[in-house]
């Protein structure tokens, strides 16, 4: 049954009374109803369980014989103090309080009222803490969403000021190479900003912040009129009192072993008790701020470095372009006069002089190729933008390359053979660029193949790794080979294998790098296999459909 109270409080309070003694059950229910509770009664375990399933009471008053599983509401047990076995059995029960039975009406009403009030206070505290967490989660989210240090500091001071109902919030970073220098503040409407922030007291604040950071503490002052400052904090105390707060919190912001800034939150008109939950949440947000500022500072430094590198790269490009132009102009004139001399324009050339001229011509041609390689690497990295695509008969391109380089190979007593694909070897590519790729690869093979050796250039129709149709071109030589640990660096600009350097084989270390860039621009790939003393095979994989 339900007994209605004569007078109800503004916030309805409900109670469940459970007792197998019908007389005591009615008396207990009547006392609680008179105290303003809406009361439901139960006389057995089953009826009590049914009421708990259907209702969420403010309090449960139960005889110890009916107490069972934990309930959400405060539990006030009725026990017989003269029954030692009963008193002993209730020690393990999840009760909030107990009272001797039969309970005195006034004491019963008072105990019930205290338990309900305490439960309400705990509930309010939990809800208040959750609201605070939600607000500060928003501050942390805003801080994490940006890499702008000014926005980070503004989110911090504004968020703390509005969340805690403060009058002033100051945030200052110290002179620290991990973070930018920041002096941000927030104040409630009607207050003037603090002119100098921490001002001349920054060094004192830094010392206090370092100490607090090492102790993982926050300096909270509930009432400045009553607070006794420690001797080492006197300078900070003087500054703080000059600002005129009633209550304040001094929060270190740090990373690693030292602080890098400080937050000051002030209440001007009344004391304030800072709860442990508030302090923990403040420290959590301060940690996010430290991380955000450090990351933003690192990113700014990286951006400055990238900008400087781009400027240096542009200067390098401009320099190489200028040097290339200045070198090609006289070289063109030298080559032209050499051709005229060899053609007999100035008269017959003695055989000894002819041999000298051949050496000059070969070296001028070598210089021309080096200048062209320099011009290539001075351009932006290959991204396909400089390709002139069209149908290319790869077999024809390989024939042009091998025919052009055969005299150079024969000069070193090296043979070159070409094995063409069985089938259609047409692809979409830039023929001029591919000719440069295979010229670089074959001429490189000639340089590193000793007299009597051979080079085989072959191609084979083969699918790419993604299943797309493609062609593999192999340049296989019987040269000196490449040390295994140096193969990953083979296509790095200006890299030369150690055995090439020790054998004084001429080269700039650009030919393979340029070939690699061109192949990558065609969506292809380059693979290398090599054995020292036996030779090297370089495989160029090209898709048939082009870039």
The predicted pLDDT at position 3 comes to: 39
pTM as predicted: 0.51
pLDDT band at 213 (very low <50, low <70, confident <90, very high): very high
Of the candidates 242, 296, 232, the residue with the CA atom closest to the CA atom of residue 264: 242
Q: Is the CB of residue 178 less than 8 Å from the CB of residue 227?
A: no
Of the candidates 143, 206, 195, the residue with the CA atom closest to the CA atom of residue 173: 206
| Residue 180 CB partners (closer than 8 Å, separation 6+) | 149, 173, 293, 296, 297, 300
Question: If residue 206 lies in a helix (H) or strand (E), which one and from where to where?
Answer: helix 202-215
Q: Up-side HSE of residue 371: CA atoms within 13 Å toward CB?
A: 18
Query: Model confidence over 21-53: pLDDT tens digits?
Result: 999 999 999 999 999 999 999 999 899 888 988
What domains are there in the chain, each with its CATH number? Answer: 2-124 (3.40.50.2300), 135-293 (3.30.450.40), 302-378 (1.10.287.130), 390-543 (3.30.565.10)
- Residue 261 pLDDT > 90: yes
Distance of alpha carbon 529 from alpha carbon 540, whole angstroms = 12
423 burial (CB, 10 Å; 0-12 / 13-18 / 19+) is: exposed
The predicted pLDDT at position 376 comes to: 64
Range with the poorest average pLDDT among 24-33, 280-289, 304-313, 503-512: 503-512
Distance of alpha carbon 327 from alpha carbon 110, whole angstroms = 104
Distance of alpha carbon 495 from alpha carbon 513, whole angstroms = 9
The predicted pLDDT at position 509 comes to: 65
- Residue 506 pLDDT > 70: no
The predicted pLDDT at position 27 comes to: 92
The predicted pLDDT at position 67 comes to: 77
R_g of the chain computed on alpha carbons: 44
The predicted pLDDT at position 338 comes to: 80
Q: Answer with the residue of higher pLDDT: 508 or 519.
A: 519
Tokens of 423: 């089938």
Distance of alpha carbon 233 from alpha carbon 221, whole angstroms = 13
Long-range contacts of 315-319 (CB under 8 A, 24+ apart): 316/378, 317/378, 317/379
Q: Answer with the residue of higher pLDDT: 391 or 345.
A: 391
| Residue 83 CB partners (closer than 8 Å, separation 6+) | none
Q: What percent of the chain has pLDDT over 90?
A: 28
Q: Is the CB of residue 483 less than 8 Å from the CB of residue 498?
A: yes
The residues facing 2 across adjacent strands are 40
Other CB atoms within 10 A of residue 474 CB = 17
Cis peptide before 102 (omega within 30 of 0): yes
- Residue 1 pLDDT > 50: no
DSSP, res 351: H
């Amino acid at each position: 049954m339900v007994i209605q109270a004569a007078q109800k409080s503004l916030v309805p309070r409900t109670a469940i009374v459970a007792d197998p003694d019908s007389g005591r059950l009615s008396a207990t229910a009547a006392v609680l109803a008179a105290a303003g509770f809406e009361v439901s009664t139960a006389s057995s375990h089953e009826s009590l369980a049914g009421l708990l399933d259907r209702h969420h009471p403010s309090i449960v008053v139960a005889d110890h014989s009916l107490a069972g599983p934990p309930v959400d509401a405060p539990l006030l047990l009725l026990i017989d103090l003269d029954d030692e076995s009963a008193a002993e059995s209730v020690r393990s029960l999840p009760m909030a309080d107990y009272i001797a039975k039969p309970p005195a009406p006034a004491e019963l009403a008072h105990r019930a009222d205290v338990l309900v009030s305490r439960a309400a206070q705990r509930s309010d505290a939990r809800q208040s803490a959750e609201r605070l967490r939600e607000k500060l989660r928003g501050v942390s989210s805003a801080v994490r969403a940006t890499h702008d240090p000014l926005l980070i500091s503004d989110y911090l001071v504004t968020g703390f000021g509005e969340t805690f109902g403060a009058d002033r919030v100051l945030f200052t970073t110290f002179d620290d190479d991990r973070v930018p220098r920041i002096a941000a503040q927030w104040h409630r409407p009607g207050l003037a900003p603090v002119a100098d922030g921490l001002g001349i007291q920054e060094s004192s604040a830094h010392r206090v912040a370092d100490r607090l950071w090492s102790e993982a503490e926050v300096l909270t002052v509930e009432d400045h009129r009553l607070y006794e400052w420690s001797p080492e904090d006197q300078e900070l105390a003087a500054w703080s009192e000059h600002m005129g707060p009633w209550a304040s919190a001094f929060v270190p912001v740090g990373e690693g072993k030292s602080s890098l800034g400080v937050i000051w939150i002030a209440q001007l008109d009344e004391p304030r008790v800072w709860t442990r939950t508030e302090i923990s949440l403040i420290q959590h947000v301060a940690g996010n701020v430290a991380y955000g500022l450090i990351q933003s500072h690192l990113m700014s430094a990286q951006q400055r470095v990238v900008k400087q590198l781009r400027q240096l790269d542009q200067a390098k490009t401009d320099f190489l372009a200028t040097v290339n132009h200045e070198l090609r102009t006289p070289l063109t004139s030298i080559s032209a006069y050499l051709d005229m001399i060899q053609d007999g324009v100035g008269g017959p050339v003695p055989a000894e002089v002819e041999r000298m001229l051949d050496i000059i011509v070969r070296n001028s041609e070598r210089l021309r190729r080096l200048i062209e390689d320099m011009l290539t690497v001075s351009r932006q990295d290959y991204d396909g933008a400089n390709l002139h695509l069209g149908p290319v008969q790869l077999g024809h391109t390989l024939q042009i390359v091998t025919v052009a380089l055969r005299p150079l190979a024969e000069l070193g007593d090296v043979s070159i053979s070409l094995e063409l694909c069985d089938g259609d070897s047409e692809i979409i590519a830039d023929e001029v660029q591919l000719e440069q790729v295979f010229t670089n690869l074959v001429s490189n093979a000639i340089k590193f193949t000793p007299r009597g050796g051979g080079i085989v250039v072959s191609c084979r129709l083969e699918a790419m790794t993604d299943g797309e149709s493609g062609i593999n071109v192999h340049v296989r030589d019987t040269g000196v080979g490449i040390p295994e640990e140096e193969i990953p660096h083979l296509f790095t600009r200006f890299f030369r294998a150690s055995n090439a350097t020790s054998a004084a084989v001429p080269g700039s270390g650009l030919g393979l790098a340029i070939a690699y860039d061109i192949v990558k621009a065609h969506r292809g790939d380059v693979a290398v296999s090599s054995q020292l003393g036996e030779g090297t095979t370089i495989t160029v994989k090209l898709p048939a459909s082009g870039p």
